[in-house]
């Protein structure tokens, strides 16, 4: 038998965990899904905090990290520091099918236009993650309501129709101040770019520092004013009524 989930069917689960500490959510996910769950991290501060929470609690998640081939050296160094700091976690580096050079020979320099950016993010970010479809039934991300924009109403439990997996956001209701306090109190591994004026971090051709008077995401695709998200997070794509189908053994836990 199988279990079909919609956003509306997750209402009771989201209500049950509303206001719950992030570690409670992580514990529930690990207990329910075991090795069929993984953390997602782009080596930014919230993802690094989640990895710290999981390791500190002895929850041996896989951590999926997409190396697009266009990341800052600081981000790759942060991944290596996370590996060293959290030996209970297994950081899995995912890579695109083509090198940057091969992609450019075939498609040209994609990130110079909106359509090209969408194609580039698809090839270098979304496709490597999609290649893991079928391996995991729950993917744990670090989106938070305090980020604003399309993430302003993110729920703790959501759906990923591309992956046919549950998307979980333990930090959904965590404020900026609460996240900062956790990182400071526990000396969490941090991407050095945050201290250099990058509130959010992506590929180096499409990420710039942000002035204090700008929106936190102003530095992403600054050369393409209408672009603010890459598409790897289903929540960033807007509404709709997606469904996913999981093994029926999860029915009791997710009801």
pLDDT 10s digits, 72-126: 999 999 999 999 999 999 999 999 999 999 999 999 999 999 999 999 999 999 9
Q: Which domain holds residue 186?
A: 2-254
Give the residue carrying structure tokens 């590996």.
83
Distance CA 132, CA 148 (A): 29
CATH number of domain containing 201: 3.40.50.620
Which of the following is catalytic: 48, 120, 206, 230?
230
**Can you give the pLDDT at residue 57?**
97
This prediction has a pTM of: 0.94
Question: Domain total for the chain?
Answer: 1
Active site residue 230: yes
pLDDT for 229 equals 78
Which segments in the chain show pLDDT lower than 50? none
Cβ(89)–Cβ(63) below 8 Å: yes
| Alpha-carbon span 189 to 195, nearest angstrom | 13
**Strands 37-40 and 138-140, how do they pair?**
parallel
Which tokens in the block code for residue 219? Answer: 């530095």
Q: How confident is the model at residue 238, as a pLDDT?
A: 62
**Predicted pLDDT of residue 6:** 95
For residue 232, the model assigns a pLDDT of: 82
A 10 A CB-CB count for 224 gives 16
């Amino acid at each position: 038998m199988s279990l079909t989930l919609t956003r509306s069917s997750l209402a009771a689960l989201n209500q049950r965990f509303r206001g719950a500490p992030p570690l409670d959510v992580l514990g529930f996910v690990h207990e329910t899904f075991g090795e069929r769950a993984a953390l997602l991290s782009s080596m930014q501060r919230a993802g690094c905090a989640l990895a710290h929470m999981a390791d500190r609690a002895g929850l041996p998640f896989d951590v999926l990290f997409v190396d697009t081939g266009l990341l800052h050296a600081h981000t790759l160094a942060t991944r290596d520091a996370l590996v060293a700091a959290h030996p209970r976690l297994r950081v899995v580096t995912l890579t695109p099918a083509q090198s940057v050079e091969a992609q450019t020979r075939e498609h040209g320099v994609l990130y110079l236009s909106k359509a090209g950016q969408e194609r580039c993010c698809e090839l270098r970010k979304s496709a490597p993650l999609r290649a893991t479809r079928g391996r995991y039934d729950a993917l744990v991300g670090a989106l938070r309501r305090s980020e604003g924009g399309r993430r302003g109403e993110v729920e703790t439990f959501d759906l990923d129709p591309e992956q046919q997996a549950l998307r979980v956001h333990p930090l959904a209701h965590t404020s900026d101040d609460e996240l900062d306090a956790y990182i400071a109190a526990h000396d969490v591994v941090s991407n050095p770019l945050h201290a250099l004026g990058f509130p959010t971090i992506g590929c180096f051709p499409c990420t710039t520092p942000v002035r204090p008077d700008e929106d936190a995401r102003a530095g992403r695709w600054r050369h393409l004013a209408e672009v603010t998200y890459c598409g790897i997070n289903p929540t960033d794509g807007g509404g709709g009524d997606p469904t996913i189908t999981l093994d029926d053994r999860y029915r009791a836990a997710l009801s």
